[in-house]
A and B are shown apart, each in its own frame.
Chain A
Amino acid sequence: MDDVLTGAILRWAHVLAGILWIGLLYFFNFVNAEASKQANAAGEGAPIGKYIMPRALLFFRWGAVATWILGAALLGMAEPPVNGMNGFLAAFGLQGDAAPIGIGAWLGTIMLINVWTFIWMNQKKILGIVPATDEQKVKARRVAFLASRVNTMLSIPMIFFMVTGPHQPIFH
């Protein structure tokens, strides 16, 4: 398979995985946070925590991993090399024309770390996957909420740099 076809397939898969990840992030923030609050107030919130959240979080955290790996592979294939560096290193090193996509890559990396540390670790306490006291659950809910909001905020510039990064004229 030639590099052009491999690159196209990787880009396609990267976008699909990214939609899964960021789509679920937006679902959590734009829909589920408020809906859960209302459901809990009505005493009907339990099914969300039992049936929806574990499945949504499964696709959310692995979607994040898939998006990052496919994106890293795409950067590695970038041609022509910037300053004689591999595309991955040039992007993460914010080198010349690779800087815009590199900023997007750094934001995506911070978001991935956020998913697996602050969000998932605290969601495990909230959902009862790991034992936690009521006090720990209250604290975990706040940390997970803020981490999710930070990711929503970072997703806005991240998507901007992902879609504009390869189109250099706006940065010149």
Chain B
Amino acid sequence: MRSPQGWARLRRMSQQLIHCGGARVKNPLDSLWGTVICGVILTAILFFVAKMLVTGSMVG
């Protein structure tokens, strides 16, 4: 189990991740191209998941 300090640190790190250089990172789904790119990336990830489920190995 993570300690309260650990959770606080994790929360700070996640906040830093969405605040790069003081500017809030935009939600990619606000843009049509961002949405399409996210969909293509998700397809690639799920392709390897499916391959692993079918063959038991990522590399075939």
Residue from the set B30, B35, B49 with the largest chain A CB neighbour count within 10 Å? B35
A136–B29 alpha-carbon span in the complex (Å): 21
Which stretch of A41-49, A53-61, A95-103, A112-120 is in the interface? A95-103
Q: Which of A25-60 contact B (CB under 8 A)?
A: 29-30
A96 with B54, Cβ < 8 A, contacts A152-B35, A155-B39 known: yes
User: Once the chains bind, are A157 and B39 in contact (CB under 8 Å)?
Assistant: yes
- Which among B9-17, B18-26, B40-48 touches the partner chain? B40-48
Main SS at interface, chain B: helix
Q: Contacting A156 at CB < 8 Å: which of B36, B51, B60?
A: B36
B32 touching A30 by the CB < 8 A rule? yes
Pairs A–B under 8 Å by Cβ, sample size 14: A29-B35, A94-B53, A99-B50, A100-B50, A103-B50, A149-B30, A149-B35, A153-B29, A153-B36, A153-B42, A157-B43, A171-B50, A171-B54, A171-B55
Q: Which residues of A does B touch, CB under 8 Å?
A: 29-30, 94, 96-97, 99-100, 103, 146, 149-150, 152-157, 160-161, 168, 171-172
